[in-house]
Amino acid sequence: MSDEGRPLSASQRWLSRRALVLHLALLVWFPGCLVAFWWQVHRALGGNALSYLYSVEWPAFAVAGAWAWWQLVHTEPSAVGRAAQQRIAGVASAPDAGAELGGAARPHPVRRREEEDPELAAYNDRLARLAAEGPKGWRRR
C-alpha cells in the first residue's frame, strides 16, 4: 500500500530503490549459494564426509534467500509499521490495556524499599523508567 492507502503499482513494487537493492542482493546470494553447493559436492566426492552435509545446506540457504527476497519485495515497511502502531493504539485504548502492554493502566504492586537490596532497587527503578517511556524501535526518534 502506498502512503495514501492505494496498492502499489507493479513498477513501484519492482523498480523502487529498495526493490532494486533486494534484486541485487538476490543476484549475489543465489549464485553464491550454488557455487558453494558445487564446491561442497566436489569436496564430498573427494573424500570429505562432512561436505555431504554442507552440500545439502547450501541449496536450502539459496531457497531461504529467495523466499526472504520475495517476502521483502512484497512487504511495504511503512504499511507494516502503520499496522503495528494501529494495533498498539487499539490495545492501549482497550479497558485492560495495561495488562497486555505492561502500561500504567495496571496497578503496580507496592514495593517495600526497606526490604529490597540496593542493587535490586536500582534495577527495579530502571525497569520502571523504561516501562514508563514505552516501547522503543529503530524508527523511533
Domains identified in the chain, total number = 2
For residues 116 and 25, what is the distance between their CA atoms, to the nearest angstrom? 53
Per-residue pLDDT tens over the stretch 41-67: 999 999 999 999 999 999 999 999 999
Q: Which tens digit of pLDDT belongs to each residue from 66-114?
A: 999 999 888 877 776 777 777 777 765 655 544 555 545 556 566 677 7
User: Same domain, yes or no, for 66 and 88?
Assistant: no
- The CA-CA-CA angle for residues 131, 132, 138, to 5°, reads 70
pLDDT of res. 90: 73
Q: What is the mean pLDDT of the chain?
A: 80
Note whether 20 and 39 are same-domain residues. Answer: yes
Which domain covers residue 121, as residue numbers? 78-133
Please indicate, yes or no, whether residues 124 and 100 belong to a single structural domain of this protein: yes
Residue 67 lies in a domain: yes
Examine the domain organization and report whether 20 and 70 are in the same domain: yes
Asked if the structure places residue 95 within a domain, the reply is yes
| Residue 94 belongs to some domain of the structure | yes
Give the DSSP per-residue string, the chain: --TTSPPPPHHHHHHSHHHHHHHHHHHHHHHHHHHHHHHHHHHHHTT-THHHHHHHHHHHHHHHHHHHHHHHHT--HHHHHHHHHHHHHHHHTSTTHHHHH--TTSPPPPP-GGGS-HHHHHHHHHHHHHHHH----TT--
